[in-house]
Amino acid sequence: MRQSLKTSLLTLAAAALAAAPARGAVSLESGSIALAFYQLTPGAGGGSFGPNTYIFDLGQASLYRENTKYGVSVSTINPGIASSNIGMDLATAFGPNWADSGTIRWTVVGNIGDTDPTVAGDPARTSYISRATDTISATVPPAVSSSNSTGLNSDIKSLFAGVQNSPSADNADGTIIPISALRTVDEHVNPTTLGLYFTLGTDPTQRFDAGTFTDRNGNQLEGALDIYRLIHTTNEADLTAGYSSGEAVVRNGQFIGTIASIPPGISPSSRNRPPRCSDSAGPWEPVSAAAAMPERHLSQSTKSLIHPITHRS
């Protein structure tokens, strides 16, 4: 074993259509958020990792944090993203049946390093982390101690460092990194860490299983991740986020959106949108909105909505 979105929402679609050709390399900058995928096959000792990981650079976190639009693509929120299509990359990294294999996990992470300057209202040691959500209940915002905040930030910073100058995959903003490389995502999750995830005791990842589940509004989802921002200090911090009515509290998760995996053939809709609620209002009703195409694309929405992130092809 090796050592070791205020209401915003992301939609990621992976597709069968061709993405932009590979160009250059991927580097995660301080102040960015990224999607991280890895493969874990169940077995003795917590299971075994597959040979590859996949990282997709979503760009500057503040773009998603401050977004107030619903059902728009990630490339609309961040025009620097050439294509939101990652289907070919995921199939290359994990095989054509990756979405149904029951072995692929995903998470969202973001970071402003401990010695880095403030980035667009995110001061040093700000972290972004996800929590899996489903139709049963909304996630509870994470709250961490000062030491855990430091450890979380350090682990994400290590992952970011491991991505620097990694060759682009078919999508220019994605990269396939073998677990034989240093500082890959598998080094920061169970079983490598004996039950910890980026030094935290709560699992921020979600597994893709065959089929879909139905949210409380009757929408079909393959998976969904709530995304939280954790500031380490209020000094130089922008305390607001999108539609949120509350302000960020030190080391307490501030909801900025949800990433959802939605099957193809479902048209985006805000019909089932629940009332907006504040970060302190407790559970909220997730609602899906999918692109009417058999692709896997990225997009963002508001706190009370879940936008399509991944569509089955």
Look at residue 70 in the predicted model and tell me its pLDDT: 65
pLDDT digits (tens, 9 = 90+) for 186-221: 999 999 999 999 999 999 999 998 888 776 666 677
User: Is residue 225 helix, strand or coil?
Assistant: strand
Tell me what pLDDT residue 256 has. Answer: 87
pLDDT confidence of residue 223: 77
Do the beta carbons of residue 266 and residue 290 sit within 8 Å? yes
The low-confidence residues of the chain, meaning pLDDT below 50, are 1-22, 135-137, 267-313
Given a contact cutoff of 8 angstroms between Cβ atoms, the answer to whether 229 and 65 are in contact is: yes
Task: Name the H helices within the chain.
Answer: 61-65, 74-77, 87-94, 146-163
Tokens of 305: 């909505």
What is the pLDDT, as a whole number, of residue 262? 65
Whether residue 6 contacts residue 243, with contact meaning beta carbons closer than 8 Å, is answered with: yes
Structure confidence at residue 194 (pLDDT)? 95
Neighbours of 157 (CB within 10 A): 22
pLDDT of residue 253: 93
pLDDT value at position 245? 66
Whether pTM exceeds 0.85: no
* E strands, the chain, in order: 9-13, 25-26, 32-41, 48-60, 72-73, 104-111, 127-132, 166-167, 174-178, 206-207, 213-214, 220-221, 223-230, 254-261, 296-300, 307-310
CA distance 284 to 13: 24
Per-residue confidence (pLDDT) for residue 54, from 0 to 100: 98
Q: Which amino acid is at 100?
A: D
What's the pLDDT score for residue 185?
A: 98
